[in-house]
Structure 1
Amino acid sequence: MDSNHQSNYKLSKTEKKFLRKQVKARHTLLRHEGIETVSYATQILVVANGGLGNGVSRNQLFPVLEKFGQVDALLMPPNKPYSFVRYKTIEESKKAYVTLNGKEIVDDLGQKIILYFNFVEKAQWKELGLQALPPGLMVVEEIISSEDEKMLLESVNWTEDKDNQNFQKSLKHRRVKHFGYEFHYENNNVDKDKPLPGGLPDICDNILEKWLKEGFIRYKPDQLTVNQYEPGHGIPAHIDTHSAFEDEIVSLSLGSEIVMDFKHPDGVTVPVLLPRRSLLVMTGESRYLWTHGITPRKFDTVQASKNRKSGIITSDVGDLTLNKRGVRTSFTFRKVRQTPCHCSYPLVCDSQMKEPPPSFPESDKEASQLEQEYVHRVYEEIAGHFSSTRHTPWPHIVEFLKALPSGSLVADIGCGNGKYLGINKELYMIGCDRSQNLVDICRERQFQAFVCDALAVPIRSGACDACISIAVIHHFATAERRMAALQELVRLLRPGGKALIYVWAMEQEYKKKKSKYLRNRIGQVKNEEILDDASVQELLVEQMPDVGNQDSASSAPSISDSQNSRKVTNSKLPIHTNRTSFHSQDLLVPWHLKGNPSKDKPVEPFDPIGSHGPSPVFHRYYHVFCEGELEAACQTLSNVSILQSYYDQGNWCVILQKV
C-alpha cells in the first residue's frame, strides 16, 4: 500500500475525539441503563445526550430527525438523557446515523448539546406503572375565567406592606403573602388567637361562594397564602400541619401551569399536572398522608398532545416533551382548625403523636447554626478517627480524575483528609475543607489544602478545569444552601470544565439491590471503599470480642441508650439507626468515636481492650437525596450541561459540564 493510499485511512484529531466520545456514550448507556448497542445497521437509533433529562424537548429533536426519513416513532423516557428514534427503513436510519452523529443542537435555555447516535435492536427503558391520583385528590380545570385570573393577579401588590411582616415575607425561593392568619414557617403553624386585620381579600368572596355553591369545596376558608414562583424555583415536599388546618386544602394556579409531585410514604410518586386557572383540592389521604412539593427546575415533563388534560403525567414515552415554566402565582386557601386533629393517620398526625414532628430551618441563619453544631464542630472533634477510616478511593471517582488531561487544575471542595488529592500525579490538585484539623492532616501528607466554606471558595472564577465534591453538599441544611454550593462549584469552572458530585442517597435499596451499606455483615467487609459513613468502624468493631453492644451497629444509637452521647440540642431531628434504611430525608447520623483522637495523634479505628473508655457519640446532620433530586437541582443551574447521572453504592452522582 503506498503512502498516499495509506493516508486516506488516517483519522483527524477531531474524528478521533468524536469516536472516543461516541464509544464512551455507548459504554455509559450499557453500564447505567442496560441498553445494548449493535455494530450493524437497524431501523432504531438511540440518541445519547438527546433526552428530556438533559433539556432536549420533542419539538427540538423531531424536526432534526425527520429531515433524513420517515420517523415511525420518537420515544423519550421521562428524566432520561437519551431517546430512541425508529425510522421506516434501515436506509433512512443509516443516513441519519452518518449525518447526525456529532451534530450540535441548542436547547431551550440556549445551551449547546452534541448528539451521539448508536444502532440498537430494540428500544428499552424502565416502564412506569400506571398510577392513579392519590385518594382524595381532585383537579378542576378552567375553574375561573381569564378575566378573573387577571384581576386576582393584579390584586396582589408585592410592593406594599414592607413594614408589616404579618402580611408579606420574601423567602429565598419565593415571595409570600398571608391573609386571615400568618403562617409561621419556624413551626409550620398559625397563631389561632392572632388573626390578621382585614381577613381575606374582597375579590375572593364571590369566587369562594361560587365554589361552595357548585360543591367544589365544603368549607369557606379563613386563611390564604399567596406564593409567587419564578421559573426554576419550587417548594420542598411537605404535608400541611394537621393541627393547623381542617381537612380541605385548595390551591388555585395562576399565570403558568406546573407539575406537582405527590409522594406516598412507601415511595410511590405521582406527578400531577396543574394547568393554568385550575383548582387543586386535597382531602383525606392526599391531604394527610401524601407529601406534595414542586421540584425546582425550569422545565416540566408533560404530554406533548395539544389537548393534554390535568392530572397524571402518563408513561407514554411517545407523547412526552418538555414544557418551559413561567411565573406562577398560587392562591392556597385553608380553614384554620380550632380543635385537635383526629384523622385516620396517627403516625403522621402532630395532634396524635407523642413527640412533635421534626422541624427544619427556614432561615439561612438557623441553617448556619445547625450546620455549625452538627457538621463543623463534629468534624473538628472526630477528624483523627474519621481520617483513619478514609483511605481507599472509590473507583468511579478515580476513573473521573484519571480521565482528565495532564496539567489540569482540579479543586476538591470538601477534601476531608485528602485521599483524592494524590490520585493522579499529572494533575495540579488543591483541596479545601471547613475543618482545620482535616486540613492539617492534608498538609502533613504534603498536599495543598486550605480552610474555607464551600459556599465561598476563595478561588478566582473560571480558574478550574475540574472540581469534585464528594459527600459534602448533603451537609447543607436547606435547599437554597445546597443550590448555592452547586452554583459555587460551577463558578469555579472554566467553560468546558467538569464537576463530579456525590451525595448520600435516600434509596439504600435500588433496582432491587441493597447497597453495600445495608448488606455487609460480620466478616464480609473487604475494604473501606464500600462505605462512606460512621458504620465503617462500627462494622470493624463488631468483629472484635467482648466490646459490648453500646458500639454495636445492631443497637439503635439514640440519646437514651448511650450515656456518652453528646447532647443533641435540637431533638426534633430524627436520629438515624446505622446500617438501616433511611426513613427521613433530614436527620442526624451517629458517629461512635473510638479512643481519644487528635490531629497530632491518629486513633486506632478499633480498640479491643477498651483502654480509652466508653465511646462518645457525635451526631452529623445530613439531607439524604431522593432519586432525581440532585439531577433536578443541577438542571436549574445556568450554563450547565449534565453529562452523566448515576447511582453508586448508596450515593446519587452527577457529572456536569460548564458550557
Structure 2
Amino acid sequence: MLTFCISSLPCPPPHASIAMDSNSQSNYKLSKTEKKFLRKQIKARHTLLRHEGIETVSYATQSLVVANGGLGNGVSRNQLLPVLEKYGLVDALLMPPHKPYSFVRYRTAEEAKKAYVTLNGKEIVDDLGQKILLYLNFVEKAQWKELGLQALPPGLMVVEEIISSEDEKMLLESINWTEDIDNQNVQKYLKHRRVKHFGYEFHYENNNVDKDMPLPGGLPGICDSFLEKWLKEGFIKHKPDQLTVNQYEPGHGIPAHIDTHSAFEDEIVSLSLGSEIVMDFKHPDGVTVPVMLPRRSLLVMTGESRYLWMHGITPRKFDTVQASKGLQSGIITSDVGDLTLSKRGMRTSFTFRKVRQTPCNCSYPLVCDSQMKETPPSFPESAREASQLEQDYVHRVYEEIAEHFSSTRHTPWPRVVEFLKSLPCGSLVADVGCGNGKYLGVNKELYMIGCDRSQKLVDICRERCFQALVCDALAVPLCSGSCDACISIAVIHHFSTAERRVAALQELVRLLRPGGQALVYVWAMEQEYNKKKSKYLRENRISQGKEEGTSSDTAMPELLVEQVPNVGSRDSECCVSSVTDLPEGGHKARTVTNAKLPVHTNRTSFPSQDLLVPWHHQGNPGEGKPGHPAGAHDPGPVFHRYYHVFCEGELEATCQTLNSVSILQSYYDQGNWCVILQKV
C-alpha cells in the first residue's frame, strides 16, 4: 500500500507563474528546503527533456508528467492511481513500460493544479519500503518513445492453467532439495537459484548435454501422466528424456541464450510453478518481445522461437504486466493505459527436452552448430598462421560488413575527442585504423590523415571528403617522425600474436616526431555485464544506424549468436600474452597449442583472452524467408572477428617494451584499456 511520509516536504514555493505573479515572486524569499526542492524539480524537468524529449510548460494544463512515479522505478498503477485521485477525477493514467515517469490527465486544469501544488515534492513509500520523491510538471500532452505492438515469436505458445493448483502443489513437493543420497540426479547450487537435472545433466557453459553420460533413474515418475497428456494434445512430438528443475529466488533470472541446436529435438517446454514471470525473447535484428508466463502455464518453444530467438529472464524485483485480464496468453501490449507492476515471488520451472541423437537440420543454418560450414580456427602457432587468421577473421570481415559497420559508428568517443582537441592548432595527426573516419573531422584545426586495411571503409572516408588511404597498420606509408600525434582506436586487439601487437605499437612510435603523442584504445578483459564498467557487454540492442557514445569498435550491435560447442574451454586465467614471452621487460606469458578459438556469447564475460566475436549482419526488411515473417529484418549472415582482449596492466607492459617511449597516462574507459604515449 502506498503511503505518505509524515516528514514530507512542504508544498512547493510559488516559483511557477501559476501560483503568483512575477512581482510577488520577487518578494518571496525561499527557504533552504524550498531552494533544494526547486533545484531538484528543475533538474527533473531538464532530464525529461534531454533524455525523453518531454517538454514541460509553466502554466496550468489538464496534464501532468510525474517524474519518479513510473513503472521503471517500482511504482505500480495500483499504488499511484489512488493517490492522484484524491485531487480530482483522473481521465487517464499513462505509464510507459520501463520508464521512471508517468502521465496523468485530469478532467479540469484546476484539478491538475491542485495535484501539482499538493503532491509536488512529496515522499511516498512503495511496497518495498523505499522512499520515492515525486516531481510534477505541467505538459501540453503526454509524449514518450513508443514501443510497437508486438506478437509472440513464430513457433512460441503459452498455454495457461495447463495443470491444477493441486497438481502444482504435488510437483513442488516432489522435488527434494536436500542432497540426493542415491545420486539418481545431479543437484547444483548456482548463484541465486537451485538446480536439479534428471535424465542428463544440462551444461550451462555450452547449453548442451553429454549424450554418452545419461544419469541413472531417468525422469521422475510423477511427470509421466503430464507428458503423456501433452503428447496426446500435440504440444510435444517426442517424449522428453531430460528435465532441468530451477528454483529462482525473487528478483533473479537467467542470461539470454539459445539451447544448442544439435543437443535437443525441436520442442522445448517449460512449466512455471509458484509465481508468474516475464521472459524476454530477442531476435537477431534487435527486436525484443516480453512474454508473460503465468503461474501453472506451459511455455512451448518450436521452430523459429526455439532455434533463432534468444530467451532469458532479466533480474529485477518487478515485471511490467497488463493490469486487465483476459488478453491473449503471453502478450504484453504497448497500451500504456493498461500496464502495471507485478512483484516477483519464488518460482520453480520444470523444463523438459528430448536429447537429439542425429544432427540438426533446421531452417537456420547460419546459427546452427550442426550446419555451420566454417570450422572455428585454431590459435596461430606461427607468423604465417597469424597473418592468415587476421586476413580471414579481421580484414575480410570488415570488408564484408563495412557499410553496416559504418552505419553504427557515428558518435565520437568523448575522451578521444578530448585528446584531439588538446593538440596544438596545425598539428599533423595520423588515425591508424580510422574505420569510417568519424574522428577525422572532430577538430578542424588539425591536419588529419586516416588509414585502414578496408578499402570500403576508406571509400566511405573519401565520400565524406576526408584524407584516407588503404594500408596495413604494420606498414604505414608515411615518413618517420612526420606526425605530431597518432591515434589507434580499437585496432591493436585485432592482431593475433604478442609480437604483432608490439610491432603495431612500434609503428605508431615510428611515425611520431620527438615529443609527439599517441593515444591507444584496446578492449578490456575485465568488462562485466550489468555494471557501469562496460558499455559493450551492457548493450542490449542491434544498432540500426543509431548509436550513441560509441567508439570505433566499442558497444557493437547486439551479438545474438550462441557459443559454438567444443571450440574452446573457459579460461579464467588472465595473462599478458597468449603465444610467447614479450621482449625483455615484459611479462611471462602462457603458451597455447592446438587450441580452438571460442566464440563469444552475447552479454557474458569473455571466456578467454583470444576469441571470436560475432557480427550479425543486418539484412533488408520485407524480404520474408521461410519461418521469418515478411516485413521483418532478414537476420543476414553472421561474421566472426578475431579479438585479443587485454588484461589490466597488459597494455602498459607491452608499451614498456618499446624503444624511446614514455607512458604519460593510462586509464580505463567504458570497456577499454587506454594509454597516452610520448616519443622521447
TM-score range, shorter chain: 0.5 to 0.7
Asked whether the 8 Å contact 2:286–2:541 carries over to 1, the reply is: no
The answer as to 2:75 corresponding to 1:56 is: yes
The answer as to 2:68 corresponding to 1:36 is: no
Per-residue deviation, residues 81-136 of structure 1 (Å, max 9, x unmatched): 00000000000000000000001111221100000000001100111111111111
Per-residue deviation, residues 375-429 of structure 1 (Å, max 9, x unmatched): xxxxxxxxxxxxxx8794999xxxxxxxxxxxxxxxxxxxxxxxxxxxxxxxxxx
The answer as to 2:249 corresponding to 1:226 is: no
- 1:656 maps to none
- Of residues 586, 590, 597 in structure 2, which corresponds to 1:571? 597
The answer as to 2:265 corresponding to 1:246 is: yes
Per-residue deviation at 1:603? Answer: 3.9
CA–CA distance in 2 between the matches of 1:45 and 1:348? 48
- Of residues 503, 514, 538 in structure 1, which corresponds to 2:535? 503
- 1:182 maps to 201
Asked whether the 8 Å contact 2:319–2:342 carries over to 1, the reply is: yes
3-state SS of paired residue (2:28): coil
CA–CA distance in 2 between the matches of 1:19 and 1:581? 48
The answer as to 2:342 corresponding to 1:323 is: yes
The amino acid that maps onto 1:598 is Q
CA pair 303-194 structure 1, distance change in 2 beyond 3 A: same
Per-residue deviation at 1:151? Answer: 0.4
Asked whether the 8 Å contact 2:533–2:671 carries over to 1, the reply is: no
- Of residues 597, 605, 629 in structure 1, which corresponds to 2:655? 597
CA–CA distance in 2 between the matches of 1:517 and 1:267? 17
The answer as to 2:215 corresponding to 1:196 is: yes
Asked whether the 8 Å contact 1:182–1:195 carries over to 2, the reply is: yes
- 1:277 maps to 296
- 1:350 maps to 369
The answer as to 2:66 corresponding to 1:47 is: yes
- 1:513 maps to 546
3-state SS of paired residue (1:276): coil
The answer as to 2:107 corresponding to 1:74 is: no
Give ranges in structure 2 of 5+ residues lacking alignment. Answer: 1-23, 378-414, 422-520, 557-577, 584-588, 601-610, 619-637, 673-680
Aligned runs of 1:596-615 on 2, under 5 Å?
A: 597-598=655-656, 603=661
Aligned runs of 1:176-575 on 2, under 5 Å?
A: 176-354=195-373, 392=418, 475-476=525-526, 503-504=535-536, 506=539, 512-515=545-548, 517=550, 571-574=597-600, 575=611
Per-residue deviation at 1:351? Answer: 1.1
- 1:100 maps to 119
Asked whether the 8 Å contact 1:506–1:585 carries over to 2, the reply is: no
Per-residue deviation, residues 110-167 of structure 1 (Å, max 9, x unmatched): 1000000000011001111111111111111111111111000000010131684952
- Of residues 172, 175, 188 in structure 2, which corresponds to 1:156? 175
- 1:110 maps to 129
The amino acid that maps onto 2:546 is K
Asked whether the 8 Å contact 1:107–1:113 carries over to 2, the reply is: yes
Per-residue deviation at 1:312? Answer: 1.6
CA–CA distance in 2 between the matches of 1:83 and 1:474? 38
CA pair 570-320 structure 1, distance change in 2 beyond 3 A: farther
- Of residues 63, 75, 85 in structure 1, which corresponds to 2:104? 85
- 1:144 maps to 163
CA–CA distance in 2 between the matches of 1:71 and 1:27? 26
Asked whether the 8 Å contact 1:262–1:269 carries over to 2, the reply is: yes
Asked whether the 8 Å contact 2:615–2:639 carries over to 1, the reply is: no
Per-residue deviation at 1:23? Answer: 0.2
Q: TM-score, normalised by structure 1?
A: 0.60
Per-residue deviation, residues 591-636 of structure 1 (Å, max 9, x unmatched): 7979962299994799xxxxxxxxxxxxx99989xxxxxxxxxxxx
- 1:464 maps to none
CA pair 195-188 structure 1, distance change in 2 beyond 3 A: same
* Deviates most, 300-309 or 94-103: 300-309
CA–CA distance in 1 between the matches of 2:267 and 2:614? 38
CA pair 512-34 structure 1, distance change in 2 beyond 3 A: farther
The amino acid that maps onto 1:571 is L
CA pair 394-60 structure 1, distance change in 2 beyond 3 A: farther
CA–CA distance in 2 between the matches of 1:533 and 1:267? 14
CA pair 344-587 structure 1, distance change in 2 beyond 3 A: same
CA–CA distance in 1 between the matches of 2:361 and 2:669? 32
The answer as to 2:144 corresponding to 1:125 is: yes
Asked whether the 8 Å contact 1:139–1:310 carries over to 2, the reply is: yes
* Deviates most, 303-312 or 79-88: 303-312
Per-residue deviation at 1:346? Answer: 1.0
The answer as to 2:31 corresponding to 1:12 is: yes
Q: TM-score, normalised by structure 2?
A: 0.59
CA–CA distance in 2 between the matches of 1:589 and 1:89? 62
3-state SS of paired residue (1:317): coil
CA pair 130-225 structure 1, distance change in 2 beyond 3 A: same
Asked whether the 8 Å contact 1:226–1:331 carries over to 2, the reply is: yes
Give me the identity figure in percent.
74
Q: How many residues align?
A: 447
CA pair 76-588 structure 1, distance change in 2 beyond 3 A: farther
Per-residue deviation, residues 449-494 of structure 1 (Å, max 9, x unmatched): xxxxxxxxxxxxxxxxxxxxxx999855776xx6xxx6xxxxxxxx
Per-residue deviation, residues 162-209 of structure 1 (Å, max 9, x unmatched): 684952111113211111111123333212222211111111111111
CA pair 354-27 structure 1, distance change in 2 beyond 3 A: same
CA pair 298-393 structure 1, distance change in 2 beyond 3 A: farther
Asked whether the 8 Å contact 2:527–2:533 carries over to 1, the reply is: no
CA–CA distance in 2 between the matches of 1:511 and 1:80? 22
For the aligned residues, what is the CA RMSD? 4.2
Per-residue deviation at 1:60? Answer: 0.8
